[in-house]
Amino acid sequence: MCGIVGIYYFDKDKSVQEGDLRLMTDAMAHRGPNDEGFFVQKHVGLGMRRLSIIDLGGGHQPIFTPDKRQVIMFNGEVYNFVDHRPTLLQKGHQFSTKTDTEVVLHLYQEYGLDCFEKLNGMFGFAIWDEDQQALLVARDRIGIKPLYYYRDAEKIVFASEIKSILALPGIRRELDMEGVSAFLKYGFTPAPYTVFKNIHKIPPAHFLRLKGRDVELKRYWKVSYQNKFTGSEDEIADGLYETLKSAVKYRLVADVPLGSFLSGGMDSSGIVHLMSELGTEKISTYCIGFGKGFDAYNELEAARRFAGDYKTDHHEILVVPDVVDLFPKLIAGLDEPLADSSFLVTYLVSKLARESVTVILSGVGGDELFGGYRRYLNVQMNKYVRLMPCGSASMWCATCSTACRSTATAACSTTSVWPRPISTPPAWRCSSSTANTPRCSRMISASNWR
């Protein structure tokens, strides 16, 4: 990963100091150990730390257009940059690197704010446009890459991490009670909130445009459900398979070693299957397991079996119960509190993977896209249970699962948490017998659920 920072003074006579930008980039040096770069032009200053993925020797930032009228600092990856480069060359654009960063800059130069329609990827970037005298700061459609900003009467400061903003002298660390309240309600702070006063998240699919004293925060994309796919079940399955395959293919573009997390579940196993089908040589896979007493959470056996089927270079790490010493380091790495203990195991398996690869593919997001969480089923069933008389709902709750957390009183509540039916298989979880299945529609056959 990389990281970007920036300072924009509303007063054009006030100059950004490169030393301030260095304080900010130093605070997130862990995001980019390979390179750093700075751009300062009077009241505008940009900085970045780089983890090199593509064009290792030629991707130094900032990157300029040939006439030096636009400049970009970029964090992330735009996967379809190879599709746009030939078109831009035909239109007369000249490139000095092989990076996706430079393609993004030229897409902006060619299409302006309509460039976002062309971008398929995860990113946070800043472009200073000398002709427009405007600064554009943008975040990807889903919000995979973080981007925060601070605003007061004098300036706007932005960065990939909150700690970089707080590193700038004069910015006070004060709690924002709305952000704290949101965290206590949701277990995280949704955009635009943070737990710090005057520090906000740029929401997913939004850009911040600064020109003079004008500040515009605008949404450039949203999910549309207007165009429904009406093909047959086989056509939908084949279309989904090809879409997933295309997504994996895009993410295999790198000039550094890459691998995949592997739990033995549907999401990560499907990714490894597609990597193999796309001809990836010797796939490196990584799995995390737990010691005695945590057998119900241990996925090592399933992952090991799947890795054997695909002959991957498989790595495992065993988590021991005593991880207290890790917490100070992990908490220091978080910009805000997070009520999800999985960040602990994510850190450990990522640390294991970093010993041999730089880029990791993972199945994160599969449960959100395909309804894999039990709570999605609970919401659906709750619509019907709320129609039952209180006594009947309570009886249903008691017979459905011995682990039911609802009570007769809660059964009448519109916010009660309902148990999962014990006959329902976990979504997106299958055995390794699906290893050589040619289509994802076959990978979710009922006979494969375990």
Contact 338, 329 (CB under 8 A): no
Q: Is 101 helix (H, G, I), strand (E, B) or coil?
A: helix
Q: Which residue has the tokens 């393609």?
A: 103
CATH 3.60.20.10 residue window(s) in the chain: 3-219
What would the pLDDT profile of 427-444 be if each residue is shown by its tens digit?
Answer: 333 333 333 333 333 333
- pLDDT tens-digit series, residues 60-71: 899 999 999 999
Span 234-369+427-445: which CATH code?
3.40.50.620
Q: State which CATH number among 1.20.1250.20, 3.50.4.10, 3.60.20.10, 3.40.630.30 fits the domain covering 3-219.
A: 3.60.20.10
SS (HEC) of 150-171: EECCCEEEEECCHHHHHCCCCC
Q: Could you identify the residue written with the tokens 């960040």?
A: 343
Distance CA 104, CA 102 (A): 5
Pair 289, 300: CB distance under 8 Å: yes
Dihedrals phi, psi of 207, to nearest 5 degrees: -125, 155
Q: How far is CA 9 from the centre of its chain?
A: 30
How much of the chain, in percent, has pLDDT values that exceed 90?
56
CB-CB contact of 217 with 208 (8 Å): yes
Q: How many angstroms separate the CA atoms of 202 and 191, rounded?
A: 7
Q: Whole-number mean pLDDT of the chain?
A: 83
pTM of the predicted structure, to 2 decimals: 0.81
264 Cβ contact list (under 8 Å, min separation 6): 287, 299, 301, 302, 303, 304, 305, 306, 432
Catalytic positions, please?
A: 2
Q: Is the pLDDT of residue 41 over 50?
A: yes
Report the C-alpha gap between 270 and 249 in whole angstroms: 13
Q: Where in the chain is the domain with CATH 3.40.50.620?
A: 234-369+427-445
User: What is d(CA 192, CA 364) in angstroms, rounded to the nearest whole number?
Assistant: 23
Query: What's the mean pLDDT in 182-196?
Result: 94
For the ranges 145-159, 352-366, 371-385, 429-443, the lowest mean pLDDT is seen at 429-443
